[in-house]
């Protein structure tokens, strides 16, 4: 049972345009969400996160939007750069109850930014 | 953020053998985590390793198959025992940041079992 779903295995955008990566979740207990970026032969690196008490969090070119009622979050990258080409993983956790370390990941979306 | 290294970076092994993967962190950390990423799948938590205590395994993972050591606050090993081709995966260790919701990952060990 995939509790975190990234339904688009890949996405291709032009440099300078907006990249929108989507993520859906089914577990209503999730209250903290993270995006990780992964280059080939490297481990995932933390990008940005959002708590369920917010609906938006911004960090430079990266913005994450959370729609709790739809159990949906998205990562916007504006403007997209060729160096953003990587696999992006959405992850979720339950921040209370002592298991806040347990991250549930989606399968990832490969973003390709074309020059 | 912590700097994490793993050895080996990759290996090709024969079925029925075992492989031990090492994870070294440049700072002392309380909790270390081991993940598996099977081809085309998401990262799945195998177990949590605390120094001085037995590892805590997630559903579907058992100590006999994936024994873990945590001898000190900067080092851990994961052994993949009696391997089969289904164990072909990337194995990653991670540590928690100041907020445990955020984790820092090692580069991973790509294991192929023939």
A75 touches chain B (CB under 8 A): no
Find the radius of gyration of the CA atoms of chain B: 13
B9 touches chain A (CB under 8 A): yes
Name the band, by pLDDT with cuts 50, 70 and 90, for residue A94. Answer: confident
| Collapsed DSSP state (helix, strand, coil) of residue B52 | coil
Tell me the shortest Cα–Cα distance from B23 to chain A, in angstroms. 12
Give the least confident one: B2-6, B62-66, B93-97.
B93-97
Q: Are A89 and A106 in contact (CB under 8 A)?
A: yes
Tell me whether residue B69 is exposed, middle or buried, using C-beta atoms within 10 angstroms of its C-beta: 0 to 12, 13 to 18, 19 or more.
Answer: middle
Average pLDDT over residues A82-92: 96
d(CA B14, CA B27): 34
- B92/A43 touch (CB, cutoff 8 Å), yes or no: yes
- B102/A46 touch (CB, cutoff 8 Å), yes or no: yes
Q: Tokens for B31, please give them.
A: 């909790």
pLDDT in tens, B9-20: 999 999 999 999
- Number of H helices and E strands in chain B, helices first, is 0, 11
d(CA B84, CA B91): 15
């Amino acid at each position: 049972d995939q509790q975190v779903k990234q339904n688009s295995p890949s996405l291709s955008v032009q440099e300078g345009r907006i990249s929108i990566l989507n993520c859906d979740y089914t577990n209503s207990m999730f209250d903290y969400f993270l995006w990780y970026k992964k280059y080939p032969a490297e481990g995932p690196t933390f990008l940005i996160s959002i708590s369920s008490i917010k609906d938006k969090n911004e960090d430079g070119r990266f913005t994450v939007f959370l729609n709790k009622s739809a159990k949906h979050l998205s990562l916007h990258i504006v403007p997209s750069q060729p160096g953003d080409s990587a696999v992006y993983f959405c992850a979720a956790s339950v921040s209370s109850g002592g298991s806040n370390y347990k991250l549930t990941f989606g399968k990832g979306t490969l973003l390709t930014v074309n020059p | 953020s912590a700097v994490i290294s793993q050895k080996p970076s990759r290996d090709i092994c024969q079925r029925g053998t075992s492989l031990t993967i090492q994870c070294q962190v440049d700072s002392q950390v309380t909790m270390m985590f081991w993940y598996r990423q099977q081809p085309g799948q998401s990262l799945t938590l195998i177990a949590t390793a605390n120094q001085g205590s037995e590892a805590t395994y997630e559903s579907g993972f058992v100590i006999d198959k994936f024994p873990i050591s945590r001898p000190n606050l900067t080092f851990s090993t994961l052994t993949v025992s009696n391997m089969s081709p289904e164990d072909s995966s990337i194995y990653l260790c991670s540590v928690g940041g100041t907020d445990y919701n955020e984790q820092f990952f090692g580069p991973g060990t790509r294991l192929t079992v023939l």
